[in-house]
Chains A and B, each alone.
Chain A
Amino acid sequence: MLFTIQVNNKKIKAEKGETILSALNRNGIIIPTLCRMKEFTPTGACRMCVVEVEGRERLVTACSQPVEEWMKIRTHSPRVIMARKTIVELLLSNHPDDCLYCDRNLNCELQKLSEELNIRERRIKGKKTKQRLDQSSPGIVRELSKCILCGRCVRVCEEVITATSLDFINRGRQTHIGAALDRDFNFSSCIQCGQCVLVCPTGALHEKHNITEVQEYLNKHEIVKAIQYSPLVSAGIAEELGIKYSKDFDRNLNAILRKIGFDKVFNTGTGTDVCISEIASQLSEKIEKKKEKALFISACPAWVKYAEQFVPSMIPQLSTVKSPQQITGILIKTIVADQLGVKPEKIFSVSVTPCMAMKYEARRDGMMRKGISDVDTVMTVRELARLIRLNGIDVTNTEKEPGDEPLSGRSSSAVLAEVSGGLAEGVIRSYYFEITGKEIDKQLLKKLRSPGVFRDCSVKIGDNEVKVAVVDGLKGLEKLRTAETAGTAYDLVEVMTCQGGCIHGAGLPFISSKEDLKNRAKLVYQADETEAISLPCKSPSLINLFSKLLKENKDISDKSIFYTHFEKKNVLL
């Protein structure tokens, strides 16, 4: 039901039941917000969005107050602006003034607000509390002095990720965000997904930077510098650097990376293809032997850590195939090293991913061979963008170059794996091809692409009815459990920690709306539609790898390098 309300002496249309904020936003009036997160229930904690409502003595928070017919609202009256300004000034009163050195400089919501509200001096001087810098976690750094206690990270961790590793500790002036028993982050149940980093308005949470290490190695001449990047990276780089993305940008990126100083540029997509075909053969073995329990795809390192901590009973069901990054990493350290005639320890292998948990995964137990780690350093897309800027490379003016063999080609299933449900789809495609010798009709798996945190479908392959489930965001695990207790026995389950899959990974540029996420998904689906090779087993790189390179290499006898192991983790839950 629409009705009119009066805002700043003008009439605007509002809908019954919506908040003041959404009515104002729809009508082109911008109200600053801070603690608000879309898709979450409003808390009205930060008071940033206050407006003046005639007849109300106090200012009203627009984000939580439902709009009513009698309302006469003033959104930018002197009183309102004064209130907002004071709030930001109070937040700044004990904030460290080190924007120049801050991770989120020019990309900080607090900085933006103080600029918007024209704050030009430190009017309120607060006692600066000396907070510790927590660098204990492999991927995430916490700088508590920059925290403004908006509580977004706490809510994401509890309501979306369901790991609940962060909460407010103490109260009043001593309040801070901390993990269990206020210990350092590495003791906590954090699964390294990095969603808290994505929602943090300031630089209080950010990724651990590996740029300095990479730079150091780039200048060592005796070392071969190899880099792999996953299929989503070029789109992410284009997004971060503000240039238009075209399908060919992958090839530009190859040239850019070589200019920076990398000797060998590989595509993680080849590893994804290996991962998909290995999981497909595990699935085929499972169905052949009529094993009852479902096979869980373990390509998402945050999900693996979640399972190891919270549901250790599931560990035997996890597929032991390494993640694409680790597979490409081990191939670089074995086959590429052999081809180049260098020892694996003389290769510095960097991986660029949209994921933050990969930083943790690269350091996992079981991710090395003969004491040499599969991947030496993991950078997020944001870090790579920084490295590109640092090296003064004009991204709009680069040549197109192919990647390096043997790890350059990939199927479109490898791209599809970047969205939730894509990996499962790829595995089913491969399995279908293995059994029937034909390519699957993509329409059969359409249900796996529908929205929602949990989706499933069943396909008839050969004589068997194969049931697939996709858990999009860990919240969907509950629905999976309900479905399983109701009697549905799934064959294959894919779990992605971040909602939407890797396109919502914490290493990608900061986004403000779901629209950006949809655009990323669209790019992925487009690539899958238009590219010629959709099956991993038809990708020339993979055929070459499996039929020739793996057999020729004296060092590797079988495919065991693609496998790892998982075990129960004891952390403070």
Chain B
Amino acid sequence: MAEDIEKILKKYKQGRREDLIPLLQEIQSATGYLSEEAIVKVGSHLGLSTTKIFGLATFYDQFRFFPAGKINIKICNGTSCFMNGSQAIIEKFREELRIAPGQTARNGNFSFDIVTCMGGCFHGPVILVNGEYNIHVRPEQVPDLIKRLKYIIEND
């Protein structure tokens, strides 16, 4: 992973503060998350303090600071999905996976995030499971869904 980061850093000029967000985005898409090591390296490359970088990165929902699970679930909590009962879905996931939004389960299998609007307002509540959209999700479907996903993980 360290090599990945080095390779990405080489593409950017040293000391250009304005490159910070694209740089972080690129590192995140290559390694899946922003590790402490990555933040420190970016800091010394761009001449910014780690405090500033961490402060900026936590401002945006798109950055994560520990690896996502093998299966990452994004639950929409935009206005439309909220009206259609996304809160119940979030609660159900929290119960079933025993993790809070933004966390990753200890065994590294699951993680889930709350996002605001994925553009499927007509079909709410919408959830995104490993790049695949599920629409009109009901809380009672969640246990089945998780069982299916666990099966996929185990047999992968």
Contact = CB atoms under 8 A, between A and B. Distances in A.
Interface of A: 158, 163-171, 178-182, 188-189, 572-573
A171 B52 contact: no
A167 B52 CA distance: 6
Given A167-B54, A167-B55, A181-B39, 16 more contacts: A163-B49, A165-B51, A167-B51, A169-B55, A170-B59, A171-B59, A178-B55, A180-B49, A180-B50, A181-B54, A182-B54, A182-B58, A189-B51, A572-B51, A573-B40, A573-B43
B134 interface: no
Contacts of B51: 164-167, 178-180, 188-189, 572
Contacts of B40: 572-573
B44 A164 contact: no
Contacts of B58: 169-171, 182
A166 B50 CA distance: 10
Nearest to B43: A573
Contacts of B59: 168, 170-171
Nearest to A170: B58
A188 B50 CA distance: 9
Contacts of B36: 181
Contacts of A170: 58-59
Interface of B: 36, 39-40, 43-44, 49-52, 54-56, 58-59
Contacts of B49: 163-165, 180, 189, 573
Nearest to B56: A167
Nearest to A165: B51
11 contacts: A165-B49, A165-B51, A169-B54, A178-B51, A180-B50, A181-B36, A181-B39, A181-B50, A181-B54, A182-B58, A573-B44
B50 A572 contact: yes
B50 A573 contact: yes
A170 B50 CA distance: 14
A540 B139 CA distance: 86
Contacts of A572: 40, 50-51
A63 to B, nearest CB: 24
Contacts of B50: 180-181, 189, 572-573
A25 to B, nearest CB: 33
A165 B59 CA distance: 17
A573 B51 CA distance: 8
B55 A168 contact: yes
Contacts of A178: 51, 55
A165 B52 CA distance: 8
Nearest to B60: A171
A189 B54 CA distance: 14
Given A171-B59, A189-B49, A573-B49, A180 B54 contact: yes
Nearest to A572: B50
A171 B116 CA distance: 15
A181 B55 CA distance: 8
B77 to A, nearest CB: 13
Contacts of A188: 51
| Chain A CB within 10 A, most for which of B43, B58, B59 | B58
Nearest to B48: A164
Contacts of A179: 51
A170 to B, nearest CB: 5
Contacts of A180: 49-51, 54
Nearest to A179: B51
B136 to A, nearest CB: 29
A512 B51 CA distance: 28
A311 to B, nearest CB: 13
A158 B59 CA distance: 18
A181 B39 CA distance: 9
Contacts of B44: 573
Nearest to B55: A167
